[in-house]
């Protein structure tokens, strides 16, 4: 993973459009596949998405490979009193999956949560069938907590 040259930058409206222009929905995040539809980009969708995520308890970041947005990673439900938040990630499309970018981005986001946001724990959840995501979380040192309502819950504590 040492040579993976990605960085996380704050999401901007322009990057949000860039991300969604080449976006593909991934079946791994749909427990009910009857809800799965191929993604179709519209300017309106990207604007609405960007606006809806501007919240003080959320950091939206873009995974950048040189000057190209290749995925989105968020720290959400940031609780500055409890010092914990929840991680979420989605790469732009299949051409950026399976190359180590997701693992590296998740490590960077957790590091950021601990060192910049002052968190002491980061939570994550995945639907049961999303084995790829569960594998990465466990590889990074997240501990499996429980399975409930179709989700598997994980957590990593600052050392
Ligand atoms: C999950 C996601 C962010 C991971 O990013 P990525 O760049 O594809 O992942 P990486 O290449 O860093 O690592 C993939 C790992 O999963 C493993 N893997 C792949 N398919 C797997 C499967 N079906 N079961 C178990 N492990 C699997 C790979 O072997 C690799 O592990 P390794 O490095 O130990 O060999 C990306 O695939 C994605 O955007 N998926 C769709 C959205 C999503 O699932 N988001 C998470 C919601 S909880």
Instruction: Report the 3 state secondary structure along the chain.
Output: CCCCCEEEEECCHHHHHHHHHCCCCCHHHCCCHHHCCCCCCCHHHHHHHHHHCCCCCCEEEEEEECCEEEEEEEEEEEECCCCEEEEEEEECCHHHCCCCHHHHHHHHHHHHHHHCCCCCEEEEEEECCCHHHHHHHHHHCCEEEEEECCEEEEEEECC
pTM across the whole model: 0.97
133 alpha carbon – ligand 1 mean position (Å): 5
Q: Whose CA is nearest to atom 18 of ligand 1?
A: 132
The answer to whether position 1 is within a domain reads no
CATH of the domain at 40: 3.40.630.30
Q: What is the pLDDT of residue 4?
A: 87
1 alpha carbon – ligand 1 mean position (Å): 14
Higher pLDDT, 3 or 27: 27
The answer to whether position 33 is within a domain reads yes
Q: Is 136 in the pocket of ligand 1 (CB under 6 A)?
A: yes
For the chain, what is the domain count?
A: 1
81 alpha carbon – ligand 1 mean position (Å): 32
Q: Is 92 in the pocket of ligand 1 (CB under 6 A)?
A: no
**pLDDT tens digit sequence for 25-72:** 999 999 999 999 999 999 999 999 999 999 999 999 999 999 999 999
The answer to whether position 61 is within a domain reads yes
**pLDDT tens digit sequence for 70-116:** 999 999 999 999 999 999 999 999 999 999 999 999 999 999 999 99
Mean pLDDT of 5-11: 97
Q: Which domain holds residue 23?
A: 6-157
Per-residue pLDDT at 153 exceeds 70: yes
If pLDDT is split at 50, 70 and 90, which confidence band does 152 have?
Answer: very high
The answer to whether position 87 is within a domain reads yes
Q: What is the pLDDT of residue 49?
A: 98
If pLDDT is split at 50, 70 and 90, which confidence band does 2 have?
Answer: low
Instruction: Report how far residue 113's alpha carbon sits from residue 109's, in angstroms, rounded to the nearest whole number.
Output: 6
């Amino acid at each position: 993973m040492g040579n993976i040259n990605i960085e996380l930058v704050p999401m901007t409206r322009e990057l949000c459009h860039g991300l969604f222009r080449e976006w593909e929905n991934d079946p791994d995040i749909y427990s009910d596949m009857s809800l799965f539809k191929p993604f179709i980009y519209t300017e309106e969708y990207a604007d609405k998405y960007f606006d809806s995520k501007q919240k003080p308890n959320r950091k939206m970041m873009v995974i950048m490979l040189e000057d190209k947005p290749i995925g989105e990673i968020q720290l959400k439900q940031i609780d500055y009193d409890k010092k914990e938040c929840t991680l979420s990630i989605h790469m732009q499309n299949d051409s950026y999956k399976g190359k180590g970018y997701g693992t590296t981005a998740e490590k960077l986001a957790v590091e950021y949560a601990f060192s910049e946001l002052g968190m002491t724990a980061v939570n994550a959840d995945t639907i049961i069938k999303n084995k790829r995501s569960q594998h990465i979380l466990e590889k990074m040192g997240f501990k499996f907590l429980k399975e409930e309502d179709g989700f598997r819950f994980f957590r990593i504590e600052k050392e």
